[in-house]
Amino acid sequence: MKLPTITDLEAAQEIVAAHMAPTQQIHWPLLSARTGAEVWVKHENHTPIGAFKVRGGLNFMAKLKKDEPNCPGVITATRGNHGQSVALAASKVGMKATVLVPFGNNPEKNAAMKAFGAELIEHGEDFHEAYMYSSELAVERGLRAIPPYHPWLIEGVGTYSLEMLSAVDGLDTVYVPIGMGSGISGMIAARDGLGVSTKIVGVVADNAPAYALSFESGEVVSTNSADTLADGMACRVPDPAAVEIINKGAERIVRVSEDDILAAMKHYFTDTHNTSEGAGAAPLAALLQEKSKMAGKKVGLVLSGGNADKALFARALTAAGDPA
């Protein structure tokens, strides 16, 4: 798979801009004091679904409606944000969306997907099992399957990277969470398209290290589980095309613990009064892990989403760690 070009990203930006304003990138002094770096946060927790994924859904559905105007509907699998994105975007083009989630999925994300008009089906113990079943249902029901990793999705989510790298000059490094890989692939595409020298660091959970293992080995490495509180990073079977792009374009991949993620969620609230879900807080956790290495540098953090459920957020607020 080829990376989107700058022209592709700009075309997607026009589609996305018809439905939402650009999100802010904000320099937070307390985060900078905590990390020792000049920190800029890209606030994708401020989109219409509270996560960056909405951009990919809007771009995908606009292109699908143009290419297949008589498409009866779409089906996809998710842990929440991708499903919200597809549901919202499908409603805007007058199309029905069916979304598969694993049992035990975030109840508040489930409720949001239903509110956006999706038919929600629970199946399997994790994302991969839900995804495999969604492929079967696509054939049975004659629906257009939307995979978690696709050029149209990368183009759409890549618009936040285009915004960030265009608005903040001289970023030494940007930390990006990795789920299935669309977000970091979009960041690589924007960085390369704009011709800037910013280094891109991926972040995964210790409990879901598939992309880190794939980066280290130079080939796709799957794991038997991906049991992390950061549901947006709960991948155990990487996409081969994503692995190829990330392995070529990323500087490194950092693993963070569950406790590190909880502490970072807490720090976002105390230092910025923003809520972050596990995946959204992971880049801050990674920067704190690399604090000595990044001291004094200009650093970007992608706060990819703020959709933590109440129980998890309460757990984060009582997590151990320096509150100051």
Tell whether the torsion through CA atoms of 119, 125, 131 and 134 is positive or negative: negative
CATH 3.40.50.10540 describes domain 6-52+151-317: no
Put simply, whether the predicted model's pTM sits higher than 0.85 gets the answer yes
* pLDDT tens-digit series, residues 185-197: 999 999 999 999 9
Amino acid 68: pLDDT:
94
Tokens of 28: 């937070």
What residues of the chain score a pLDDT lower than 70?
A: 320-324
DSSP 166-215: HHSTT-SEEEEE-SSSHHHHHHHHHHHHHT---EEEEEEETTB-HHHHHH
Amino acid 228: pLDDT:
96
Amino acid 320: pLDDT:
66
Amino acid 321: pLDDT:
58
Equal fold, 6-52+151-317 vs 53-145:
yes
Q: Return the CATH class of domain 53-145.
A: alpha beta
Give the domain ranges of the chain.
6-52+151-317, 53-145
Amino acid 80: pLDDT:
87
Amino acid 324: pLDDT:
46
H or E element, residue 144? strand 144-145
For residue 321, what is the DSSP state?
A: S
What does pLDDT average to over the chain? 96
Sheet holding 119-122, edge to edge: 119-122, 97-101, 74-77, 144-145
